[in-house]
Chains A and B, each alone.
Chain A
């Protein structure tokens, strides 16, 4: 694409927002349809063919609903929190390469950008809970903070092993290093990191916890905390949180694809790169949904124990192992 830079950026901005909006809407549809199949029912069927217009109907409903702001809340923070959930996720997508050329900004520090914006999500949910002045929301906010702090550590440790093997923080370069047959993907590079599949698993579990998805959905935990931090939100305030949740899952799965599954690299050499990238990403997203509709929720302290007593030692172990392997071979 040889567009002038400002126009190119605007085009990408619009494109990414449309991408997030479209995905949020149709991932909800896919989740409802998918969970329907898991539960031996049909899911949405009424609006449009196979319920395909259901997300549109839902968003019209959410947009037309009254935005209730309870009088006791902190108005500024209460309104700012939904924006803080969705904007970082969109910004993170700007550095994610969908294919060799399809990337809004190929920064050298792309990986760091994703993580620094990703950590704002915690702040946003905490603010939402805090500003709501609701006891359930505050419990949820406290949970979110300790959960995300606990899971950011193993996640970053795992990412460091990737950095050690690839020697770069640019997401495009990380993918380029995985070029060639599929056993060059980081998840199969046992010659560099003998525990590479375990590393991927740790990353995936941490990603589930970071995005507050089941079985780690402590923040929402509808049977304990009603709706957690978003209890007091109505209409599109709630809708934006919903989009933000899916946008975060999108970023998380995109990152897992780039870091471990060779990004846009094709395993068999046909079809454009963007297709393979999206395919891998959606397979991971499908697994996220699958987990949600299969497992019950964990307890909060089990969740923290899992991070501090299992995942952090494992990721530290893989880090040391990778360092030794790289030095020796």
Chain B
């Protein structure tokens, strides 16, 4: 009997349903997400995500500080993939004010963004397996992540919420030590990915838990605006880095991993392969990085972009991230609006989890890789 038939049978038999309150404090929601589940035994009839427990008014805060003062906010929306968020905002403002970015700065941005993407995926990898009851991979993933954080700390000064990109470049030039560390990290991480492949991906229990579980169709992705690994796991090879190229991504070679199955395993594999692709990008970018200035001189401290409406989209670790800024020609933004990937990805949970068992639904939730502050902003 499929779960859908089971529910129908339960309804016909007059079974009672009950509300199970998953969160806002629950070990599997990794933050303060609350999901109201209507359950029939262990089957989910309806899941209702309740967002807003960590709403911090990041968009409103943009309206009462100058363009540059808003920079630290950007890295606190999705704390795991802070670089890409700063990148989107900085690039949008550069587009508005017509600021050129030196090539060296673009390469630095690509290297740091991709390192950040790997560290973000490593956290997902650990947390996802924690959801599935495997505790050990988490600490191995954090061991690798530590190396990335050390590298980024050396050049940015912070370990998680970076404020490294500035209008017209980056805050600080990278030195040879950083580039050498990034170069050495690539073969090291490739070995580790091989180890994860044999130790975790090929584990029979894991495959049984992920294969065929939580299918998300292409149609569902279009309907809810799901992007990133969730969409690529449903067979749509959409990646902002390729579709709407920005920075120096067009000069770099990388593939867009995508799987047609649409189940949790597909999303798992997409993320694991994205780490390998990010390594490829880092390898090339470190080899190609030119000498030169890391910052365009003469960017005014109090920037006043001409009045207008500007957008910029980047590929964050969780999907398409777009920032829209509206300027009225003053020192402060008129409006800052974020289109965050986690928010769109959680909306499909209601439809995708219908009829699933609780444990499988939590695997599905983990495979969406949600960052709760990114949903609430």
Chain A residues within 8 Å of B, Cβ to Cβ: 35, 38-41, 135-136, 139, 142, 214-215, 217, 221-224, 226, 293-302
Query: Can you report 16 A-B residue pairs in the complex whose CB atoms are below 8 A from each other?
Result: A38-B136, A41-B139, A136-B20, A139-B358, A142-B41, A221-B133, A223-B28, A223-B132, A223-B133, A293-B135, A294-B136, A296-B134, A296-B203, A296-B205, A296-B209, A299-B359
Are B42 and A299 closer than 8 Å at their CB atoms?
no
A41 to B140, CA, bound (A): 10
A214: chain B residues within 8 A (beta carbon): 133
Q: Which residues of B contact A40 (CB under 8 A)?
A: 139-140, 143
When the two chains form their complex, are residues A221 and B203 in contact, meaning their CB atoms are under 8 A apart? no
B266 to chain A, nearest CB (A): 18
Contacts of A136 on B, CB cut-off 8 Å?
20
Closest to B42 in A: A139
Q: Which residues of B contact A139 (CB under 8 A)?
A: 42, 358
* A142 to B357 alpha-carbon distance, docked (Å): 14
On whether the beta carbons of A296 and B132 are closer than 8 Å, the reply is yes
A136 to B19, CA, bound (A): 11
**In-complex Cβ contact of A221 among B136, B205, B359 (8 A):** B359
The verdict on B99 contacting chain A, using a C-beta distance below 8 Å, is no
- Measured CA separation A296–B139 after assembly (Å): 14
Known: A226-B26, A296-B209, A299-B208. A39 touches B136 (CB 8 A): yes
Contact, CB under 8 Å: A293 / B28: no
Contact residue among A215, A293, A296, A302 (Cβ-Cβ distance under 8 Å from B129): A296
Q: B28: which A residues are within 8 A, CB to CB? A: 223-224
- Chain B 217-233 near chain A by CB (<8 Å), digits 1 or 0: 00000000000000000
Cβ of B348 < 8 Å from any Cβ of A? no
- Of B21, B41, B206, the residue contacting A296 (CB under 8 A) is B206
Question: Number of residues in B with C-beta < 8 Å to the partner?
Answer: 29
Q: A296-B129, A296-B133, A296-B205 are in contact. Are A222 and B360 (CB under 8 A)?
A: no
CA of A299 to CA of B136, assembled, Å: 18
| Distance in angstroms between the alpha carbons of A35 and B129 in the assembled complex | 16
Say whether A223 contacts B205, CB under 8 Å.
no
- B120-151 interface mask toward A, CB cutoff 8 Å, 1 = contact, 0 = none? 00000000011111111001100100000000
A82 to chain B, nearest CB (A): 23
When the two chains form their complex, are residues A222 and B357 in contact, meaning their CB atoms are under 8 A apart?
no
The 8 Å CB contact of B27, one of A223, A298, A300, is A223
Q: Which of B21, B140, B358 contacts A39 (CB 8 A)?
A: B140
Cα of A302 to Cα of B129 in the assembled complex, Å: 18
- In the bound assembly, the distance between CA atoms of A297 and B128 in angstroms comes to 12
A143 to B205, CA, bound (A): 19
In the complex, per-residue mask of B343-360: 1 if CB is within 8 Å of any chain A CB, else 0: 000000000000001111
A226 to B358, CA, bound (A): 12
Q: Which residue of A lies closest to B20 (CB)?
A: A135
Instruction: Taking A226-B27, A296-B129 as given, write out 19 further A-B residue pairs in contact, using a Cβ cutoff of 8 Å, ordered by the A residue number.
Output: A39-B139, A135-B21, A142-B41, A222-B133, A223-B28, A223-B133, A224-B359, A224-B362, A293-B135, A294-B136, A295-B203, A295-B205, A296-B134, A297-B133, A298-B205, A299-B209, A299-B357, A299-B359, A299-B360
Set of chain A residues within 8 Å of B26, measured between Cβ atoms: 226
Residues of B contacting A301 in the complex (Cβ-Cβ under 8 angstroms): 357
Return B359 CB to nearest CB of chain A, in Å: 5
CA distance A302 to B209 in the complex (A): 9
Instruction: Indicate if the CB atoms of B209 and A223 lie closer than 8 Å.
Output: no
- Docked Cα-Cα span, A298 to B213, in Å, equals 13
Q: Collect the chain A residues with CB atoms within 8 Å of residue B136's CB.
A: 35, 38-39, 293-294
